[in-house]
Amino acid sequence: MTHQKYDLSNYLFDKKPLIIKEIIEAYDKEISNNMVDFAIFSNGVSNLYELFLQKVAGNSSEQVVNIGVKIEKFRKGEKITLENFLSFMESARLIIEKWIISIPGEEIVKSKGIAELNKFFLDIQREITLQLNKVNEDRLKVKNAEVYRLEKERMQILSKLSNSFAHEIRNPLTSIKGFIQLLESRIDKPADTDERKYFDYINREIKELEVQVNQILFLSDRKNHQDYNLKSISLNQIVLHVLRTFQPIINEHRIQLDIKLPKHSMVNGIEDHLKLAVFKLLQNAVDALLMKEKERKIKITLNTKKDEVVLSVTNNGPPIPEVIKNSLFDPFVSTKELGKGIGLAITKQIVEKHHGKIYCRSEGKWTSFQLVFPYILGK
């Protein structure tokens, strides 16, 4: 604490009644709010001024954080717009500045005083704005939580509905399948007749229907992962197997494949489920690539780290639309005309049941999905 500072604060302390009076007048003039509780207001201004004096005297280490909260509460209570209030604060600062300038004394003392004053007001303004942002943020958080809850509720209802529909379809489908097989066994036409072809066609369609229905039921499968027959499985083999299914479409649409698979990448799991997960990712990659004319590329890599196997499926199709990025793995989210929106939901479920994680990144040219599984040492 310097002697000069002490002088300035003494001087400002002497002038306190006059300065406070001017500040209150400025408030009346600029905000002219009849609602204000005068005693509370002048008390508040007085306290604020005291704190400033202590700062000038170098006696206070008190932060202005709590003051920001109090002032912001006052502003809101009085229904004063932030703009008007900040403009009043500026008037108050100017009043004190004028008094500092009028002090008989050295310029250096005045300059230091004004610098202290500016810092004090800036700190307060920052605290008021921060406080305001915090209140807005809190409100936004409550709203977001509500939207999230409603969305979850909607999903649960949708899942329940589709699940019961799927059950309703599956049962008659099973009997249709049985009767068709019975009928087929009773006709004694050779294999290449039209009748036989019709049966083939019906059987194929029934099979497709079964696959679709089972996938919806899969989503609500509560069966424990451990209840299945878990095996040590090579992810490389799974990828190669699924790729074979896609080979015709990959050739037909001239999709360039870039595959990097190590020899060992064993995970503990259910083979059919893992195949389904990889199938869904590749299906999406192909769907995306069909939306562009040329230079279609898919990259598949498997990396084995110390205790993880990471499978990446990447393509250079159009990026994932921003609007669905947050709900990408929820069921029934789709941008495709005939999409059911269950591919990624199923994939996520499978990965999580294998104690793995799924990540997505879609930026610029590349869209990439990563499946991360715990690695087990295989032969």
Sheet holding 296-304, edge to edge: 255-260, 296-304, 308-315, 366-374, 357-363
Residue 254 is given by DSSP the state: T
Kindly state the tokens that stand for 137.
């943020």
Rule CB under 6 A: say whether 333 interacts with ligand ATP.
Answer: yes
Residue 203 as a binder of ligand ATP (CB under 6 A): the answer is no
- Judged by beta carbon, residue 103 or residue 249, the one nearer ligand ATP is 249
Q: Pick from 68, 113, 343, 356: which binds ligand ATP (CB under 6 A)?
A: 343
Distances (CA, A) of 46 to 17, 24, 78, 119: 9, 10, 18, 18
Residue 340 in contact with ligand ATP, rule: CB under 6 A: yes
* Shortest reach from residue 41's CB to ligand ATP, in Å: 57
For the CB of residue 296, give the shortest distance to ligand ATP in the complex, in Å.
12
- Identify whether the C-beta of residue 297 lies closer than 8 Å to the C-beta of residue 255: yes
Q: Does 297 bind ligand ATP (CB under 6 A)?
A: no
Q: What is d(CA 274, CA 240) in angstroms, rounded to the nearest whole number?
A: 12
One-letter identity of residue 24 = I
Report the distance separating Cα 3 and Cα 319, nearest Å. Answer: 67
CA atoms within a 13 Å half-sphere pointing along the CA-CB vector of 55: 20
Token code pair at residue 365: 């040219």
Residue (9 or 349) nearer to ligand ATP, CB: 349
Stretch of 11-19, 158-166, 253-261, 318-326 lying at the interface with ligand ATP (CB under 6 A): 318-326
Read off the amino acid at residue 147.
Answer: V
Binding residues (CB under 5 A) for Mg ion: these are: 284, 343
Nearer to Mg ion, 331 or 343 (CB): 343
For the record, the structure tokens of 340 come out as 């059911």
In the complex with ligand ATP, the residue whose CB is nearer, 169 or 328, is 328
Nearer to ligand ATP, 250 or 320 (CB): 320
Range in contact with ligand ATP (rule: CB under 6 A) among 144-152, 179-187, 254-262, 319-327:
319-327
Binding-site ranges for ligand ATP (CB under 6 A): 280, 284-285, 288, 315, 317, 320-321, 324, 328, 333-336, 339-345, 367
